[in-house]
């Protein structure tokens, strides 16, 4: 697209992000260099560790420039909705082990152990995905799971800041943007929790990253020296006398449990275990955490909180009396209408409907999703499906179970770079981390409006973008 048009909708969307964001898109006509595609990071290897280059998706040329008021709104939404998702087993199912086990297809005994107080929800790191629509922030899903991609984007900061056209714009307007690094935030949270729990009494906090046997999963094996250096730096910021290190490990070859404490095979005690892989930690690690002898991140509740149906459950039960006025307000404000995809009556827009009949008659309004799936798979937008495809998926999903339907929400139009030198309105999904109960940074995934099947995901061709706070 060689030219771009600044419509009132685009200007309003950027203006609501920040005055700086609006200034940026308004300056494009006077600064054509900003319209050019950025160089590949592989053309500038000095800015990136070699292993990081293997983890990067195609990047958007411009960062999102987000102001304080918008950041505060994101923090309210991310912290509030993540906290409610963590409480779904207790609040929606009344903590009933049998009901929870049946709904999530889990063994009752395991459910009982995992959810027995303390449930370890406070150390769950989440990544929430939302759109900013004309109604404001609307959540698509909350991922309480080990598979939290996006942290490697931290290496783009220097790359962005050093691009001449962008650097000139920032200097011209006296702007010093800030990047909120999820990885550093996670390390800070690990260290703070260990100190608070009395696990650092001997002057060190050792963190182990749990990976599948034989391969690193979501993290690259060559990243270990970098992770250790950043962790040491974060320890020193908290307390110059505090020691500790980072290790990769897999069960059973890397670990052993002695007297309810977790150790690496080299004898070093592990104070915090972060699961970068699902289903590989034995139940004993969670029991150690419940006894206060270990901090566990992203293990115990990921089977429950990682299920996308949690948002549908919040939507369905918002007015059921299970939530107080503040909580109900959060759900109604940030969670679009959603329901389990099961046959039967539902209430939609104040009227009673048979769910299957409603979906068939108003296909364009809805999206079908599998509750436990990744990378944009198992998602069908009624607006892009044929009626035949839509009805077939409804029938299959209702028969299989484990699916949800969500009211479709659309992104406001944000102008971003396309092609060799151009710009076009994009739909944007915000991938934001919730760490320690607060917004911990994030990134964008985006695609030009009107292209593809409407599913915006990095693994399916979307570009990724940076968030600079201004």
Domain assignment present for 98: yes
Domain assignment present for 306: no
Q: Specify the number of domains making up the chain.
A: 3
Q: What is the pLDDT of residue 17?
A: 98
Q: What is the pLDDT of residue 338?
A: 98
Range with lowest mean pLDDT among 15-29, 223-237, 287-301, 403-417: 287-301
Asked if 120 and 208 sit in the same domain, the reply is: no
Q: Would the pLDDT of 397 be above 80? A: yes
Instruction: Enter the DSSP assignment of 405.
Output: E
Q: What CATH number is given to the structural domain containing 218?
A: 3.40.50
For residue 265, count other CB atoms closer than 10 A to its CB. Answer: 11
Asked if 157 and 80 sit in the same domain, the reply is: yes
Asked if 284 and 426 sit in the same domain, the reply is: no
Cβ contacts of 366 within 8 Å, gap of 6 or more:
359, 382, 405, 406, 407, 408
Q: Among residues 407, 424, 440, which one ends one of the domains?
A: 407
Measured between alpha carbons, how far is 109 from 222 in angstroms, rounded to an integer?
39
Asked if 375 and 459 sit in the same domain, the reply is: no
Asked if 347 and 439 sit in the same domain, the reply is: no
> CA quadruple 167, 168, 170, 171: dihedral positive or negative?
positive
Measured between alpha carbons, how far is 134 from 111 in angstroms, rounded to an integer?
40
CA dihedral angle for residue 196, residue 197, residue 202, residue 206, rounded to 10 degrees: -90
Calculate mean pLDDT across residues 168-173: 92
Domain assignment present for 272: yes
Q: What is the DSSP string of 162-192?
A: T-HHHHHHHHHTT---B---HHHHHHHHHHH
Asked if 42 and 130 sit in the same domain, the reply is: yes
Asked if 261 and 379 sit in the same domain, the reply is: no
244 burial level (CB within 10 Å; 0-12, 13-18, 19+): buried
Q: What is the DSSP string of 210-233?
A: E--TTS-TTS-GGGHHHHHHHHHH
Measured between alpha carbons, how far is 21 from 66 in angstroms, rounded to an integer?
7
What totals of helices (H) and strands (E) does the chain contain, helices first? 17, 20
Pick the closest to residue 129 from 429, 331, 337 (CA basis). Answer: 429
In the chain, what's the furthest Cα-to-Cα distance?
A: 68
Domain assignment present for 388: yes
Reported as half-sphere exposure (CB side, CA atoms, 13 A), residue 431 has a value of 24
Instruction: Kindly indicate the confidence band of residue 71, based on its pLDDT and cuts at 50, 70 and 90.
Output: very high
Measured between alpha carbons, how far is 277 from 321 in angstroms, rounded to an integer?
36
Asked if 216 and 278 sit in the same domain, the reply is: yes
- Residue of higher predicted confidence among 52 and 161: 161
Asked if 421 and 282 sit in the same domain, the reply is: no
Asked if 43 and 99 sit in the same domain, the reply is: yes
Domain assignment present for 235: yes
CA 215 → CA 13, 218, 250, 251, 270, distances in Å? Answer: 43, 9, 9, 12, 20
Domain assignment present for 302: no
Domain assignment present for 304: no
- Reported in sequence order, the residue ranges of 73-211 that DSSP labels E, i.e. its strands, are 126-133, 136-143, 207-210
Domain assignment present for 387: yes
Asked if 95 and 217 sit in the same domain, the reply is: no
Asked if 114 and 247 sit in the same domain, the reply is: no
Measured between alpha carbons, how far is 244 from 38 in angstroms, rounded to an integer?
39
Q: Which helix (H) or strand (E) holds 445?
A: strand 438-448
Cβ contacts of 205 within 8 Å, gap of 6 or more:
190, 191, 194, 195, 199, 235, 242, 243, 244, 271, 272
The domain containing residue 153 runs over which residues?
1-175+311-336+409-470
> CA quadruple 327, 330, 332, 338: dihedral positive or negative?
negative
Q: What is the pLDDT of residue 1?
A: 37
Q: Would the pLDDT of 215 be above 90? A: no
- Residue 145: beta bridge partners? none
How confident is the prediction for the chain on average, in pLDDT? 91
pLDDT digits (tens, 9 = 90+) for 6-60: 999 999 999 999 999 999 999 998 888 889 887 666 666 676 777 777 767 788 9
């Amino acid at each position: 697209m060689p030219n771009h048009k600044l419509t009132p909708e685009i200007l309003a969307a950027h203006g609501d992000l920040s005055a700086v964001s609006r200034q940026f898109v308004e300056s494009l006509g006077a600064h054509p260099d900003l319209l050019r595609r950025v160089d590949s990071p592989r053309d500038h290897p000095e800015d990136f560790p070699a292993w990081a280059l293997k983890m990067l998706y195609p990047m958007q040329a411009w960062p999102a420039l987000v102001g304080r008021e918008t950041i505060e709104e994101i923090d309210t939404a991310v912290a509030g909705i993540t906290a409610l998702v963590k409480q779904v087993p207790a609040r929606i199912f009344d903590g009933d082990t049998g009901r929870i086990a049946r709904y999530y297809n889990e063994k009752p005994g395991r459910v009982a152990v995992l959810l027995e107080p303390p449930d370890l929800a406070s150390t769950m790191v989440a990544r929430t995905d939302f759109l900013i629509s004309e109604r404001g922030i609307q959540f698509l899903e909350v991922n309480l799971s080990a598979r939290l991609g996006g942290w490697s984007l931290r290496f783009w900061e220097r790359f962005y800041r050093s691009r001449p056209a962008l650097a000139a714009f920032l200097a011209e307007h006296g702007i010093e943007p800030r990047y909120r690094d999820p990885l550093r935030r996670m390390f800070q949270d690990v260290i703070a929790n260990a100190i608070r729990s009395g696990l650092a009494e001997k002057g060190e906090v050792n963190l182990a990253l749990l990976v599948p046997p034989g391969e690193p999963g979501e993290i690259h094996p060559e990243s270990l020296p970098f992770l250790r250096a950043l962790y040491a730096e974060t320890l020193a910021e908290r307390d110059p006398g505090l020691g500790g290190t980072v290790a990769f490990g897999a069960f059973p070859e890397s670990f052993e449990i002695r007297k309810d404490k977790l150790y690496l095979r080299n004898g070093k005690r592990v104070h915090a275990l972060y699961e970068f892989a699902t289903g590989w930690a034995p139940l004993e690690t969670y029991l150690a955490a419940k006894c206060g002898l270990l901090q566990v991140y992203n293990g115990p509740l990921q089977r429950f909180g990682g299920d996308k149906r949690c948002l549908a459950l919040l939507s369905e039960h918002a007015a059921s009396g299970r939530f107080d006025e503040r909580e109900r307000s959060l759900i109604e404000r940030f969670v679009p209408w959603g329901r389990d995809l099961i046959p039967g009556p539902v209430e939609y827009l104040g009227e009673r409907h048979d769910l299957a009949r409603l979906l068939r008659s108003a296909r364009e309004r809805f999206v079908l999703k599998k509750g436990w799936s990744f990378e944009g798979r198992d998602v069908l937008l009624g607006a892009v499906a044929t009626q035949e495809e839509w009805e077939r998926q409804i029938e299959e999903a209702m028969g299989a179970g484990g699916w949800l339907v969500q009211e479709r929400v659309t992104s406001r139009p944000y102008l971003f770079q396309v092609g060799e030198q151009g710009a076009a309105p994009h739909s944007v999904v915000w991938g934001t981390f919730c760490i320690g109960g607060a917004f911990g940074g994030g990134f964008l995934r985006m695609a030009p409006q009107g292209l593809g099947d409407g599913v915006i995901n990095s693994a399916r061709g979307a570009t990724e973008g940076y968030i600079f706070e201004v």
